[in-house]
Structure 1
Amino acid sequence: MSEPLYVPVLPTRPHAAGACRRLWPDVRAAIRPLWNLPPLPGAATETLAKLVGKYVDPVSAVSRHGGWIDAPFGEDAQTADLAEALSVYCELGQLRPVTGPERTETQQAAAVETARRCARGLGVRVRVAKEWDDSLGEHVRSLLSRTGPEVPVDLLLDMGAVLDDRSDAGKEALRALDALMPLAVWRNAALLGGGFPRVTADMLEEGSHEGERAEWRMWHEVRATGSAYAPLLGYGDYGVQPPSALAQVPAPGRKGGPSWGVLRYTTDSSYLLFKTLARGRDRIAVNRSAARRIVELPEFRGAGAGQGEEWVSDCAYGPLSTGEGVGGPTERLRAGNLQHMTYVVRSLPGG
């Protein structure tokens, strides 16, 4: 296997593509995103390729160092059309197709065929819902038997659905890895956890909330076991949104939404969230105050630490007479991802 990589599990949305585009070159070179198409319910054959292009063109352009493209919510009737549409980005770009043991045989076969044509490899995404099930290992073995030794394979062990408050998440990940690692000569193997918690108004009643970085703890627990594969095990998370955000159905032109928003900041052990306002005459003052709370944290690494910190610092000290630099939901998500991804890469061995 290659050196440990950071695998951010990202939606094919503007805020995520924009964050990757703005990363410093050395940080971007250290990440291999796992991009996820949103659900495209009922999309017909004649429109599917255009929809896929709308979402994948921007992320393909910022993935020149590689990564994976997945359609985890694809409908059975869309399998062939999705495979054909995505194969373009695997053949002409740097992205690799993805399949998994729970996918249909049709989807698995399409992903394997794309991997053969592209000669860049195949991502095998193994999702653990609550605890490891040995039958998953048998399904992976069966999938690999149809892949063939000529196709390089990458293991993406996705523990994103394991509850953050489970103290035994590391043990479950270790059980899964002990079963999966002997099944192939994996080119890369990464342990993917959750991400920032799902934010609710109740969480921010006091204006802020602190959550534990459970997936960071889980990865370190596995690395500390001394297993032969542990030193080369990549790290992954869902960034500044919870895993459930990937399943949100796009709603073009939707207006309204909650009257509040959130600024996010990642520290060594915590996810910090600060309430902002989406509208109202106090919006600018409240949002700049939220940014100042981040800047005044002992853990704040300074405006020069990355573009995320720079954006927060600019937001904190901008004039109250104008909303310039305060941004909306997309800008806040982009800034949060910039800060988070840069910090993760700097925290990894050799980062």
Structure 2
Amino acid sequence: MSGPLYIPVLPARPHAAGAFRRLWPDVQAAIRPLWNLPPLPGAAPETLTTVVGKYVDPVSAVSRHGGWIDAPFVEDAQSAALAEALSVYCMLGRLRPVTGPERAEAQQVAAVETARRCLRGLGVRVRVTREWDARRGEDVRGLLARTGPGVPVDLLLDMGAVLDDRPDAGKEALRALDALMPLAVWRNAALLGGAFPRATADMLEEGSCEGSRAEWRMWHEVLAVGRAYAPLLHYGDYGVQPPSALAQAPAPGKKGGPPWGVLRYTTDSSYLLFKVLARGPDRIDVNRRTARRIIQLPEFRGAGAGQGEKWLSDCANGPLSTSEGVGGPTEWLRAGNLQHMTYVVRSLPGG
């Protein structure tokens, strides 16, 4: 298979950009992220260049191998100005614009024009939240016709939150792929979906919980059918946050938050979540003890497996006399992403 091994769907946020920057070079080289801008409610078109730069500058700086940049929550009034702001990163950097069949016409036109100008191609993101709708295939056909020849196109089939309540996700993915793959000579085709479950206080009442890797199962179900296009497919997921996290609008000046957080660890078949403390007199002891629980798991791959495992080992073995290395929400997300992305690349053929 040519192209990337792994396409994570990541928020254009500091913790995700920081995690990607810290990946080992060979792991980073196997990954092409699909970066997502958050909603920018009420942002005036004349301010979008500055606002967009705040989010895209860090991810553009770590995207020397390429990737995609998407604004799935753009407001209609922002489409033209946002497309112009993003086009700079596509022209001068290595990011590719993204559109989709359900997007407003103005956004589609702007994305296609950017793709023509930057000569790096266009990402076509097709969402399937439940069952495949054949009309969506016709919408994609129309979008491709407007794109015209000469623009390389990448299929990003996004199955969203693939959880245990979607046992037929593999079948729906096959229906979608059977309809979409013949529509173009896709430069890349990716099957995206699923992530860690959303952590809640109730879930973590006992201190930890476990979720299944339903999207990993979906991926293998699709490959097992043996379609001719299967060797061309790339794997993707939403990393260590649920898909709904992408839709969280920035909250300037927000302080506080829950008194607890989560350490995450990906195994062959499960997502493991462990409760840690964000504040309080027991924070250091609880957090180091929790990290020790993880490094003592039979599935723990050792501090040398990656930067995520190294952080967990350092946290577990640090002194109780100082809080250095026990982290906070940003560090916990970053460590989880480091461990997860490294493990996924190592799990895929060629990784």
TM norm structure 2: 0.99
Question: Shift of residue 149 of structure 1?
Answer: 1.6
Question: Shift of residue 252 of structure 1?
Answer: 2.0
Question: Shift of residue 23 of structure 1?
Answer: 0.5
Question: Shift of residue 240 of structure 1?
Answer: 0.3
- Structure 2 counterpart of 1:52, one-letter code: V
Q: What aligned pairs does 1:171-320 form with structure 2 within 5 A after superposition?
A: 171-320=171-320
What is the rounded CA distance, in whole Å, between the counterparts of 1:16 and 1:25 in structure 2?
16
Question: Shift of residue 103 of structure 1?
Answer: 0.2
- Give the % identical residues: 85
Runs of 4+ in 1 over 2 A off after TM superposition: 1-5, 161-165
- Structure 1 counterpart of 2:218, one-letter code: M
What is the rounded CA distance, in whole Å, between the counterparts of 2:348 and 2:101 in structure 1?
29
- Structure 2 counterpart of 1:297, one-letter code: L
Distance 1:268 1:163, change over 3 A: closer
What is the rounded CA distance, in whole Å, between the counterparts of 1:279 and 1:330 in structure 2?
14
Deviations 1:251-294 (A, max 9, x none): 12211111110000000110000000111100111111110111
What is the rounded CA distance, in whole Å, between the counterparts of 1:167 and 1:307 in structure 2?
33
What is the rounded CA distance, in whole Å, between the counterparts of 2:80 and 2:176 in structure 1?
30
Mark the runs of 5 or more structure 2 residues left unpaired by the alignment.
none
Distance 1:330 1:171, change over 3 A: same
Q: Is the 8 A contact 1:263 1:274 kept in 2?
A: yes
What is the rounded CA distance, in whole Å, between the counterparts of 1:117 and 1:3 in structure 2?
22
Q: Is the 8 A contact 1:130 1:163 kept in 2?
A: no
* 1:36 alignment counterpart: 36
Q: Is the 8 A contact 1:4 1:232 kept in 2?
A: no
1:146 counterpart SS class = helix
* 1:167 alignment counterpart: 167
1:203 counterpart SS class = coil
- Structure 2 counterpart of 1:231, one-letter code: P
Q: Does 1:332 align with 2:332?
A: yes
What is the rounded CA distance, in whole Å, between the counterparts of 1:161 and 1:20 in structure 2?
22
* 2:133 alignment counterpart: 133
Question: Shift of residue 122 of structure 1?
Answer: 0.2
- Structure 2 counterpart of 1:97, one-letter code: P
Question: Shift of residue 165 of structure 1?
Answer: 2.6
Question: Shift of residue 54 of structure 1?
Answer: 0.4
What is the rounded CA distance, in whole Å, between the counterparts of 1:246 and 1:326 in structure 2?
26
- Structure 2 counterpart of 1:221, one-letter code: E
- Structure 2 counterpart of 1:122, one-letter code: L
Mark the runs of 5 or more structure 1 residues left unpaired by the alignment.
none
Q: Is the 8 A contact 2:115 2:121 kept in 1?
A: yes
Q: Is the 8 A contact 1:164 1:194 kept in 2?
A: no
Q: Is the 8 A contact 1:68 1:97 kept in 2?
A: yes
The worse-fitting range, judged by mean Cα deviation, of 204-213 and 163-172 is 163-172
Q: What aligned pairs does 1:41-120 form with structure 2 within 5 A after superposition?
A: 41-120=41-120
Q: Is the 8 A contact 1:2 1:187 kept in 2?
A: no
- Structure 2 counterpart of 1:320, one-letter code: L
Deviations 1:200-224 (A, max 9, x none): 0000011000000011110111111
Question: Shift of residue 4 of structure 1?
Answer: 5.3
Question: Shift of residue 124 of structure 1?
Answer: 0.1
What is the rounded CA distance, in whole Å, between the counterparts of 2:172 and 2:123 in structure 1?
21
Task: Give the number of aligned pairs.
Answer: 351
